[in-house]
Amino acid sequence: MPHDIVVGVDGSPASLAAAHWAAREAQRRGAGLGLVHAWHRHPRPAASVPLDHTEHGWAEEILQEAVRSIRAAHPALHVTERLVCDSAVSALVAAAADSDMLVLGSLGLGPLSGFMTGSVSRRVVARCTRPVVLVRAGRGATEDHLPAVDGVAPDEIAATPYREVVLGLDTDRPCDEAIAFAFEAARCRGTGLRVVHAFRVPVRPASDASLVTAPPASPGPVPAPRAPVTAQARADAERAVTAALRAWRERYPSVPVTESVTEERAAVAVVRAAHGAGLLVVGRRATGHRIGAHTGTVTHVALHHADCPVAVVPHD
């Protein structure tokens, strides 16, 4: 039975955090939730399987534990489970094909790890034809909302305004799928949408660059300087953002939109804007090939360094 939202669970704290985030998202959207656990038969049971369990029995226990946790916290939510004997990547990509969104857990942020630490998550994001949301371990319901004032009881957190949604926008190749996802996420949260666009001015022409010489002690050539940012370049970038969003503002009149245009690397601008946000939305150009699929520079950096859930939305 297709569900609007599917979440992959594997018994880890990260996947359980993702399952609860997915449950809250399903409630916000009035959708059902499907929990998927993939297991693989081995000649000998994996070391993680208890001695008194078969591989199938342990996989069933992992799935049911997640289901019990979700149903206890969200009793009104329609929840189903699916146990699949297949590789994790194949099972999750197939499950996502029948849904509007796939949610996966990730490890916490650290100096050497980020959202994409797991090879499974990396391959699923690169191959999936539906939006994939990565939720880091430890993410709870309170972090979906702005900080509550002193004296607010835990059961009143839900009434606290949601954190804003951030969208990374490339005006050269606007992704309608990502824009639509971001507007809808902001609408169902009753919060604002911050649209971030970063542009770079071109390097100076060769005639100008040739005037720049490296000092004698320099280990290599000095990069050609970029032309200074002009008022015209910034105005052009701002107009491009406004044009890309015009139809979506009309379609979602209740969503407050803030446009942010800056001259810097797009990945840096997007991660900085996402600090303290409730959700970051980025696009990923789908190559149509399973082999050699990749996520793109901005998406790769966002998944490693953003401190909020990241939605990766594929597009042609």
Ramachandran sector of residue 210 (left: φ over 0; alpha: ψ -120 to 50; beta: rest): alpha
| Phi, psi (degrees; rounded to nearest 5) at 242 | -60, -40
Looking at residue 57, its pLDDT comes to: 78
Q: Which of the four pLDDT bands, split at 50, 70 and 90, describes residue 31?
A: very high
DSSP readout, 38-94? EE---SS--TTS-TTS-HHHHHHHHHHHHHHHHHHH-TTS-EEEEEEES-HHHHHHH
> Beta strand 5-8 with 33-39: parallel, antiparallel or unpaired?
parallel
pLDDT in tens, 293-315: 557 889 889 988 999 999 999 98
pLDDT tops 80 at residue 63: yes
Q: What angle do CA 237, 240, 246 make, to 5 degrees?
A: 140
For residue 310, what are the β-bridge partners? 134, 280
Nearest to 19 by CA among 5, 30, 7, 34: 7
Give the C-alpha separation, 250 to 282, whole Å.
21
Looking at residue 3, its pLDDT comes to: 64
Looking at residue 207, its pLDDT comes to: 53
Looking at residue 157, its pLDDT comes to: 62
Residue 192 CB partners (closer than 8 Å, separation 6+): 164, 165, 186, 255, 256, 257, 258
Give the C-alpha separation, 183 to 249, whole Å.
9
Looking at residue 104, its pLDDT comes to: 95
pLDDT tops 70 at residue 28: yes
Q: Which of 73-82, 109-118, 169-178, 236-245 shows the lowest mean pLDDT across its residues?
A: 109-118
Residue 302 CB coordination number (10 Å): 29
CB 29 within 8 A of CB 131: no
Residue 54 CB partners (closer than 8 Å, separation 6+): 45
CB 63 within 8 A of CB 11: no
Looking at residue 197, its pLDDT comes to: 96
3-state secondary structure at position 5: strand
DSSP readout, 208-273? HHTT----TT-SSPPPPPBPPPPHHHHHHHHHHHHHHHHHHHHH-TTS-EEEEEEES-HHHHHHHH
Q: How many CA atoms lie within 13 A of 190 on its CB side?
A: 8
pLDDT in tens, 201-241: 765 555 554 444 555 555 555 555 555 657 888 899 999 99
pLDDT in tens, 105-131: 986 444 333 343 467 888 899 999 999
pLDDT tops 60 at residue 50: no
pLDDT in tens, 15-27: 999 999 999 999 9
pLDDT in tens, 236-272: 999 999 999 999 999 999 999 999 999 999 999 999 9
Distance from first CA to last CA of the chain, Å, rounded?
A: 27
